[in-house]
Amino acid sequence: MGIQAKVYLVGAGPGDPDLLTVKALRLLQTADTLVYDRLVSREILELIPETVSRIFVGKASSRHTLSQQEINALLVELARKRPGVVRLKGGDPFIFGRGGEEALALARNNIPFEVVPGITAAQACAAYAGIPLTHRGLARGVQFITGHRKDNEALVIDPASVADPDQTLVVYMGLANLPLIVSDLLNAGRAADTPAAMVERGTTSRQRNIVTTIGHLQETVERYAIQSPAMLIIGPVVSLAEELNWFMPWAQEMELKYA
């Protein structure tokens, strides 16, 4: 089935092209126009035919090619001129991807759209680091939070929501505010010796893992110069990372400090 005249909000997954859904790949190869983010990997872009028109709208912390409002307007404009527009977003469009805002802009302008879920970075980075987000006896739940606020607003973490030691906590975009996050977690009652992992460029050939504790997290991140994109995972399940490290058994970045 060919691509229809609508906007497709497509999740690219975390970076490994083999984690694209079959539907996402089909749409990428039959699109007229591609609008894509900074976190879409080079390997995924290489799967797209050269005949597809490409528009880069990547955003990094405090550095935006276009604002979110401008991206919304661009999608509306393109949909009125082009037969098949694919908006490709890293991870999943509806999990800290602002896909909901783009869908609302389309809906309010009577633009047909479709959402194609992608594997979100939280589950993929954890799996590729050998960390099950839930595990019997170690975690009875998992919570996804953002470590970054829109328009550079101050980050506020609700202590009650992150205090449960039996719940795995996954923090997206947490590097810039890491000292504040660590302080808030300790103030919320999380023990300093709680296992913590940072997964840089998860699922790609450039992935690096560090495994430490909340108390040593900041110094370990600085020691290894961890850079964005990186996913922070906190909780007892991180203690399984060394045994379950299937993706990078040769890695030397494993820093274990379970005192």
Beta strand spans in the chain (E): 7-11, 33-36, 53-56, 59-60, 63-64, 85-89, 113-116, 141-146, 167-172, 195-200, 208-213, 230-234
Residue 200 pairs in a beta bridge with: 208, 230
Please tell me which residue in 6, 59, 184, 257 is annotated as part of the active site: 59
Q: In terms of C-beta density within 10 A (0-12 exposed, 13-18 middle, 19 or more buried), how is residue 177 classed?
A: buried
Please tell me which residue in 6, 16, 32, 37 is annotated as part of the active site: 37
Taking the alpha carbons at both ends of the chain, their separation in whole angstroms is 57
Q: What is the C-alpha to C-alpha distance for residues 37 and 56, in angstroms, rounded to an integer?
A: 6
- Active site (annotated) includes residue 37: yes
The CA angle 60-33-41, to the nearest 5 degrees, is 40
- 57 closest CA partner among 45, 47, 67, 46: 67
- 207 closest CA partner among 149, 151, 247, 165: 247
Catalytic residue numbers read: 37, 59
